[in-house]
Structure 1
Amino acid sequence: MLVTMREVRQRLTGADVDFDAATELGPDALPHLAELATTDDTVLACKAIYLASRIGGSGGTEIITRAAGHDDPIVRIAASAALRNLEHAR
């Protein structure tokens, strides 16, 4: 399934994101989530990290690992919290 950045952004927009539905984008969304996780928009970066953790796999792990070194401490906290989702996926 081809997933566009626009689709990923649409799923992450708004206060009440349906992460269950967004997870259905699957691994094809991970390149876009990787890009969003590095933005200066803290809220969007945190949502991208969380969704990456829900999708999982090596791509999700890589996004979270990189986010742990983000300049924004809130994003680093989000990365730390996202690790729990990876643990549950195992």
Structure 2
Amino acid sequence: MAVTIQHVRQRLSGAEVDYEYAAELGDDALPHLAELATRADTVLACKALYLASLIGGPRSTEIIAAAADHEDPIIRIAASAALRNLRQAGRTR
């Protein structure tokens, strides 16, 4: 099954996200997470960054690093936390 942005949005919807379940989308979700992390919806962008940190790998690191320069300070903070999470878990592959 090809992962679509709708799949990613569905897994990130709701107040309490099951990130373990969402992370099962794997690397195929990363292009969509990159897009969501740049959108004006701060909450969704922050969720996308956290999910990217759980998936891990070089592409996740790129997504999170790019968000560190976002104009929204909340997204920059989320990027910082996600990068720390990525490093602590050894998910930089």
Instruction: State whether TM-score is above 0.5.
Output: yes
Aligned-pair identity in percent equals 71
1:1-90 matches, within 5 Å, as 1-90=1-90
Shift of 1:88: 2.5
Instruction: Give unmatched runs, 5+ long, in structure 1.
Output: none
Q: Hey, what's the Cα distance between the residues in 1 that align with 2:77 and 2:54?
A: 16
Q: Hey, what's the Cα distance between the residues in 1 that align with 2:8 and 2:47?
A: 11
TM superposition outliers: structure 1 runs of 4+ over 6 Å: none
- Residues 32-81 of structure 1 deviation map (CA, whole Å, 9 limit, x = unaligned): 00000000000000000000010010110000000000010000000000
Shift of 1:84: 1.9
Q: Supply the AA of the counterpart residue of 2:86.
A: L
Shift of 1:23: 0.5
Instruction: Give unmatched runs, 5+ long, in structure 2.
Output: none
Cα RMSD between the aligned structures? 0.9
Relative to its length, the structure with more helix (as a share) is 1
Q: Hey, what's the Cα distance between the residues in 2 that align with 1:54 and 1:38?
A: 18
Contact 2:65 2:83 in 1 (8 A): no
Q: Hey, what's the Cα distance between the residues in 1 that align with 2:31 and 2:19?
A: 17
